[in-house]
Amino acid sequence: MRILALALSLLAAAPSPAATDTYRVLFAGEDRGHMIVETDGNEVQIDFDYKQNGRGPTIEERLVLDDAAYPLSWTITGTTTFGNQVDEWFRREDGVASWQDASGSGSTQVDGPAFYAEQNGSVYSAGLLARALLADADGTLEVLPGGTARIRAHGTMTFDGPAGKVEATTFEISGLSLNPSYVTLDADRELFAVASPNVIIVRQGYESADQPLREYVEQLGTDRFVEIQSATARRFDGPVRIRNVRIFDPAALALTAASDVVVNGNTIASVQPAGSVVTPGETVIDGAGGTLVPGMYEMHGHIDQEDALLNVAAGVTSVRDMGNENAVLDGLIERIERGVIAGPRITRSGFIEGQSEFSAATGETVATLDEALALLRWYGARGYQQIKLYNSMKPEWAPRLVEEAHALGMRVSGHVPAFSTADAMIAAGFDEITHVNQLMLGWVLKPDEDTRTLFRFTAMQRFPDLDLDGPAVQATLDSMVKRGVAHDPTIGIHELGLTAVNGEVPPGSVDYIDHLPVNAQRNERQALFGTADEAERQRYVAAFGTIMQTLRMMHARGILLVPGTDRGGSFTYHRELELFRELGMTPAEVLRRATLDMAAYLGQEQRLGSIEKGKLADFFLVPGDPTRDLKAVKSIAMVVKDGTVYFPSDIYPYFGIEPFAPAPTVIAASD
C-alpha cells in the first residue's frame, strides 16, 4: 500500500507532458500568420507573428505560471505592427509585483496572486484572464497596472476538426478598454479562439469556425450598442427647440446672433431669433448661450460599430469610409439607418487592391485589369461614390480604371501603387492622393524601392533633405493645382508615428488622455514607429516638420486638403483639426473645412454642412466659441444626428470615459 501511495503521489506531482498548440491568424478568411504556444509544466513559450498589408507584430513571450495559472514572470519581446520595439516584463516575488511596458514601469505590494494585463503580448493572455475570472467567485478581478476586469458568458457552438468535436463557449471580457473583447474557450477552459468581426485567431484545424465566430461576436457587439442606443438616444414627441444658441455659419465664417433652432423629425424646421414664441408640444433644450456647430466630416475612416457611436459623441456625424469589408460595412450602414444603433452617415469608397504577398486583406483583391474593371463596375452599380486604389495594384492599370470610374461618375483616390509616383497617378487622372507620405515618397525614393512594406513609413527619414522649392516638389504641386487634385493627408497619424515616444503623452492626446480608462491611457503612451536610437527619432521628428511645411505650401497654393484621421476619428479627429489650424487656417476656416466644404466635396451640401431651414438635423452644441478657440469642440454637451438627440455625458460612461461637459437642461413639452 505504501508503494502504491508513493507511486500515486509521484504521479500527481509529476509535471504535465510538454505540448504544442498552434493557432492560425485569419483576416476575412485569409491566413496571414500564426500563434504557436509551447507548454512545459508551468512554463509557456509563445511565438506570435502575422503580416497584413505589409505589416504586423512579431512577438515572443515567456511565462512562468503559478498553480492557479496566474503569471509569476512574463517577458514579451519583439516588434509591434508598425515596428516599435517591445521590451515588456512582469514579475511577482516576495509579495511585490513589478512591471515594465512601453508606457513606463511600476511596482506594488500584493497579497497573493495578481493578474497583469499585458500591453503588447499575443492573445494568449485573453485565455489566461478568462480562466482567472471564471475561477473567481463573482467573475471580477482587479488587475495590474490598473482597472477591473469582468467576464460574462455567451453562447456555445460545436466545431469539428482533426482532434474531434469541440464545444466552444464565447465569453465577453470588459472593464479594461473602451470596448469589450471576446474570447472563446473549449470545455476544458483552454483557449480556442479570439475573434472580432474582421479577424480571428483560431486553433489550427478548426478554421471552419472563422466565419461563424466572427459573425457571432459582431452580433454580440451589436447587441451591446443596441442597449446603449436604447438608454442614450433621446427622441421626443413633437418639435424640439434648442434655444439661446449662436450658430456657426460656415459660409460667413462667423457666429450668428443669439437664435433658437427648431427641429421637427430629422429636419431643421426653422431658425428663429432667440426668445421666439414656443408653440404647444415643443420640447425645449436650453443652449445657455453656447455655440451650435454643423456636424463634422471624418474623411478617412475604416469604420466599425465600435467607432460609430464615439464619432457621433465627438460631433462627427458623417464619415467617408476609405476601405472595408463590404458585407460588414453594408450591415453597419443598415443598422445605423434603421436606428438600431447610433452612428454617422457613411459615404463608401470601393477598395481595389492588386494581388501580391503584401496585399491588404481588406475589401477585394484582383489579379488582372479585367477583374479590376469588373469590381469597379460592381461598386458603381451599388452607389459607391468613389474607388480607392491601393499599394499592390499595377500602376499601368490606373489610366484605364480612372477612365472607367469617371465614365460612371465616380471619383478616384488612393495610395500610390508600389514602384510608381504621385506624379504618375496624377497624370493618370487621380482626383485625390491619400496620405501625405504617399504624396511625398515619390520625391525621395529610387525606382526599385518597394513601398508595400513598412518601408513606406521608414523612408520618411529622407524628407528633411528635400528641397521644397526645387523642381521635383514644385512640378507635383503645379500638376495638382492645374488638375484640381485634392489631398487627404491624415496629418495626425503621421504626427503620432514620427514624434511619439514611449512613456510620454503625445501632443494629440494631451487634452483627453486623463479621461480614458487606465489601459487606454497606457496605449496612448507608446510610440507607433520603432527607432534604433535617438538620432533616428530626431530624423523622424524633422520629417514631420517637413511634412507640415509641405502642407502649408499646398494650402497656400489652393490645393484642397481634406481632414481625416485613419485612426478611428472621434478624439483624434479633433487633433486633426488642430493640425489644420497650424497650416495657416483660422479656427473658423478649419470648421468650414470640416463641415460645409466637405459636404460640398461629397455633393451633399443641399442637405448637410450648415444649420439652415430644410436641412437635415446634424449638429452639436459646445459651451464655448470654437471660432476663437478651436479646442472648444472637445467639450461637447449635446449632439443631434438625424434629429435624434444624444448627450455625450450619457454615452461616455459606457466606454469608461469621463465626460467632458455636462448635459444641457431639457424642459418637457407643454400642452
pLDDT band, residue 671 (cuts 50/70/90): low
Q: Take residue 199 and report the three cell numbers written for it.
A: 479577424
Cβ contacts of residue 603 below 8 Å, gap of 6+?
385
Mean pLDDT of the chain: 94
Give residue-wise pLDDT tens across range 151-168: 999 999 999 999 999 999
pLDDT band, residue 12 (cuts 50/70/90): very low
Upper half-sphere CA count for residue 320 (Cβ side, 13 Å): 31
Rounded to whole angstroms, the Cα distance separating 659 from 667 reads 22
> For 474-484, what is the mean pLDDT?
98
Q: Residue 482 pLDDT > 50, yes or no?
A: yes
Give residue-wise pLDDT tens across range 595-605: 999 999 999 99
pLDDT band, residue 1 (cuts 50/70/90): very low
SS3 at position 670: coil
pLDDT band, residue 16 (cuts 50/70/90): low
> What are the residue ranges spanned by the domains of the chain?
18-231, 236-294+609-671, 296-603
Q: What angle do CA 607, 610, 612 make, to 5 degrees?
A: 75
Dihedral angle sign, alpha carbons of residues 349, 544, 417, 433: positive
> Strand 96-101 relative to strand 85-93: parallel, antiparallel, unpaired?
antiparallel
Pick from 415, 390, 417, 387: which is nearest to 403 by CA?
387
pLDDT band, residue 328 (cuts 50/70/90): confident
> For 109-114, what is the mean pLDDT?
90
DSSP 211-232: HHHHHHHHHHHHHHHHHHHHHH
Question: Cis before residue 145, ω within 30 degrees of 0?
Answer: yes
Q: Are 344 and 298 in contact (CB under 8 A)?
A: yes
Rounded to whole angstroms, the Cα distance separating 501 from 525 reads 7
pLDDT band, residue 15 (cuts 50/70/90): very low
Give residue-wise pLDDT tens across range 592-650: 999 999 999 999 999 999 999 999 999 999 999 999 999 999 999 999 999 999 999 99
| 296-603 homologous superfamily | Metal-dependent hydrolases (3.20.20.140)
User: 53 vs 367, which has greater pLDDT?
Assistant: 367
Q: Where are the beta strands (DSSP E) in 257-404?
A: 259-264, 267-273, 283-286, 291-294, 296-301, 316-321, 345-354, 364-366, 386-389
Q: Where are the beta strands (DSSP E) in 125-190?
A: 140-144, 148-161, 164-174, 181-185
Q: Residue 295 pLDDT > 80, yes or no?
A: yes
> For 572-583, what is the mean pLDDT?
98
| 236-294+609-671 homologous superfamily | Urease, subunit C, domain 1 (2.30.40.10)
Give residue-wise pLDDT tens across range 114-130: 999 999 999 999 999 99
Q: Residue 169 pLDDT > 50, yes or no?
A: yes
pLDDT band, residue 102 (cuts 50/70/90): very high
The pLDDT assigned to 7 comes to 38
pLDDT band, residue 360 (cuts 50/70/90): confident
> For 2-27, what is the mean pLDDT?
62
Q: Residue 541 pLDDT > 50, yes or no?
A: yes
The pLDDT assigned to 453 comes to 87
The pLDDT assigned to 385 comes to 94
Residue environment code for 326-361, b if the CB has 16+ CB neighbours within 10 A, otherwise e? bebbebbbebbeeeebbbbbbbbbbbbbbebebbbb
The pLDDT assigned to 625 comes to 97
Q: Residue 530 pLDDT > 90, yes or no?
A: no
Pick from 412, 374, 417, 371: which is nearest to 394 by CA?
417
Q: Residue 420 pLDDT > 80, yes or no?
A: yes
With 0-12 / 13-18 / 19 or more C-beta atoms within 10 angstroms meaning exposed / middle / buried, residue 446 is exposed
pTM (two decimals)? 0.93
> For 224-253, what is the mean pLDDT?
97
Rounded to whole angstroms, the Cα distance separating 621 from 571 reads 16
> 167 pairs with which residues across the strands?
158
> For 575-582, what is the mean pLDDT?
98
Give residue-wise pLDDT tens across range 423-435: 999 999 999 999 9
The alpha carbon of 22 is separated from its chain's Cα centroid by a whole number of angstroms, namely 29
Q: By 3-state DSSP, what share of the chain in percent is helix, strand and coil, each rounded to 5?
A: 30, 30, 35
Q: Residue 8 pLDDT > 90, yes or no?
A: no
pLDDT band, residue 191 (cuts 50/70/90): very high
The pLDDT assigned to 4 comes to 36
DSSP class of residue 194 equals E
Q: What are phi and psi of 119, to 5 degrees?
A: -100, -45
Angle between helices 398-407 and 369-381 (to 10 degrees): 20
Q: What are phi and psi of 490, to 5 degrees?
A: 45, 65
Pick from 396, 386, 549, 355: which is nearest to 470 by CA?
549
Rounded to whole angstroms, the Cα distance separating 414 from 390 reads 6
Q: Quick one: what percent of the chain has pLDDT higher than 90?
A: 89
